C-alpha cells in the first residue's frame, strides 16, 4: 500500500529526514516512535503533503501513485488522512460544514453521489457516538474554543466519517488524559480492518497499550534505527530512548541532544 524508499526531507534548508525506508501493507498498524526532534512529525507531514517541507531525495509510492507528485487534497481523496498534532481552529466555518464538504469531495472523487442532508446527518451522528462527542460541537466553528481532548476527538470523528485507507495519527495522544486517550483509541480500533492501514506517530508507548501495533519503528536523527514487533515498544518503555542511543550509535545521540 505504502512504500517509502530512501526518503530525505527538510525545512528551510535543514535536513530532518535522512533516508527513511518503510513498507506498510493493508490491515497493518505501524507505530513510529522516537524522541523529540527525531523527525516523526516531519514524516507524517511530508506524507500528507505539507508544502513548507522540501523532499530532497527518495520516493513514496502509495497505491500505485507517486505520492509526492500529488497535492494534499488529491492525497486525501485517494484515501489518505492525517490526524493533526495541533488541529487548526477555523472561525466562521462550522464543523458540520467542513465534514460535509470533505465527505462530498471524497465521494465525488470516487464517482459516488452526494449524500442528502438526512443520510449525512445520521452518518455523522453514528460516528459521533463512536468518539463520545457532544452534538453541539457539530454546529460550532471548526475546533474554535474546543478543549485539547475535543480537538483530538474531532480529528478521529473526521477520520471515521471519511473512512480513509491510510490514516496517519500525528501524536494524537499528546495532551490527552487517560479517559480521552481510551476514547480516541477505541475510535481507532473500531476502524481497523483488513483494507485499512494506520501509521501511529507517538513519543510515548502509552497509546500503544490501547492501539496494539503490528510493527514498531524507532526513529532517531531522521533514520529508522530499529524496527520490531510490539515488544520493542515495551522495551522502550522500560529502558527509555537512551537504550536505543547505545544501539544506534552517534546519530541517535545527536537527536536526543
Partner 1 sequence: MSETDRQLEEFSRLQPVLPGMRVPWIERLRREGLERFGELGYPSVRQEDWKYTDVRPIEKRRFTLADVPVPVEPEAIAGYRLTGLAAHELVFVDGRFVLECSRVDDLPAGVTVTGLAAIMDRAPGALEDHLGHYAPADDNGFAALNTAFMTDGAYIALAAGTRVDAPIHLLFVSSGEGRAAHVRNLLVAGPDSHAVVVESHVGLGEGEHLTNAVTEMALERGAAVDHYKLARDGAKTYHIAGTHVHQQRDSRYTSHNVTLGGRLVRNDLGAVLHGEGGECTLNGLYITGGRQHVDNHTRIDHRAPHTTSREWYKGVLDGRSRSVFSGRIVVHPDAQRTDARQTNNNLLLSRDAEADSKPQLEIYADDVKCSHGSTVGQLDREALFYLRSRSIDEATARNLLVYAFAADLVQRMGLTPVRRQLEGHLGGALLSADAPGEVV
Which residues are at the interface with partner 1 (CB under 8 A)?
Answer: 48-52, 71-73, 75-77, 81-82, 84, 87-94, 96-98, 100-102, 104-106, 109, 117, 120-121, 138-139, 141, 158, 162
The nearer residue to partner 1, 25 or 71, going by C-beta atoms, is: 71
Least spacing, CB of residue 127 vs partner 1, in Å: 15
Q: What is the separation of C-alpha 42 from the centre of its chain, rounded to a whole number of angstroms?
A: 11
Q: Which is nearer to partner 1, 17 or 138 (CB)?
A: 138
Rounded Cα gap, residues 250 and 71, in angstroms: 36
Q: Which of these, 17, 34, 31, lies nearest to 198 by C-alpha position?
A: 31
- What's the min distance (Å) between Cβ of 73 and partner 1? 5
CB of 122 to partner 1, least distance (A): 12
Which of 183-187's residues contact partners 24+ apart within 8 Å by CB, and which partners? 183/131, 183/132, 183/153, 184/131, 184/152, 184/153, 184/156, 185/210, 185/211, 186/130, 186/210, 187/130, 187/131, 187/153, 187/156, 187/157, 187/159, 187/160
Kindly state the smallest distance separating residue 128's Cβ from partner 1, in Å.
14
4 CB burial (10 A radius; 0-12, 13-18, 19+)? buried
69 or 117: CB nearest partner 1: 117
CB of 239 to partner 1, least distance (A): 35
Q: How far is the CB of 107 from partner 1 (least distance, A)?
A: 9
- By C-beta, is 44 or 232 nearer to partner 1? 44
Residue whose CB is less far from partner 1, 4 or 168: 168
Q: Which residue has the cell 533514520?
A: 223
Nearer to partner 1, 21 or 74 (CB): 74
Amino acid at each position: 500500500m505504502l512504500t517509502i524508499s530512501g526518503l530525505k526531507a527538510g525545512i528551510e534548508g535543514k535536513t530532518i529526514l535522512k533516508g527513511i525506508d518503510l513498507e506498510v501493507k493493508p490491515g497493518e498498524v505501524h507505530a513510529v516512535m522516537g524522541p523529540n526532534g527525531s523527525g516523526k512529525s516531519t514524516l507524517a507531514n511530508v506524507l500528507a503533503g505539507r508544502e513548507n517541507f522540501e523532499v530532497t531525495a527518495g520516493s513514496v509510492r502509495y497505491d500505485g501513485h507517486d505520492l509526492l507528485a500529488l497535492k494534499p487534497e488529491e492525497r486525501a481523496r485517494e484515501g489518505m488522512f492525517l490526524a493533526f498534532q495541533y488541529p487548526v481552529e477555523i472561525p466562521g466555518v462550522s464543523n458540520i460544514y467542513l465534514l460535509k464538504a470533505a465527505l462530498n469531495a471524497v465521494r465525488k472523487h470516487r464517482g459516488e453521489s452526494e449524500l442528502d442532508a438526512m443520510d449525512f446527518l445520521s452518518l455523522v451522528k453514528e460516528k459521533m457516538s463512536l468518539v463520545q462527542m457532544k452534538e453541539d460541537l457539530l454546529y460550532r466553528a471548526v475546533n474554535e474554543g474546543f478543549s485539547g481532548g475535543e480537538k483530538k476527538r474531532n480529528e478521529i470523528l473526521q477520520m471515521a466519517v471519511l473512512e480513509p485507507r491510510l490514516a496517519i495519527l500525528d501524536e494524537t495522544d499528546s495532551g490527552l488524559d487517560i479517559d480521552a486517550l481510551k476514547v480516541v483509541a477505541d475510535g481507532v480500533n473500531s476502524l481497523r480492518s483488513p483494507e485499512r492501514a494506520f501509521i501511529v506517530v507517538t513519543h510515548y508507548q502509552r497509546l500503544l497499550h490501547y492501539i496494539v501495533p503490528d510493527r514498531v519503528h524507532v526513529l532517531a536523527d531522521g533514520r529508522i534505527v530499529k524496527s520490531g514487533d510490539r515488544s520493542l515498544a515495551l522495551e522502550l518503555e522500560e529502558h527509555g530512548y537512551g537504550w536505543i542511543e547505545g544501539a544506534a550509535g552517534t546519530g541517535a545521540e545527536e537527536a536526543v541532544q
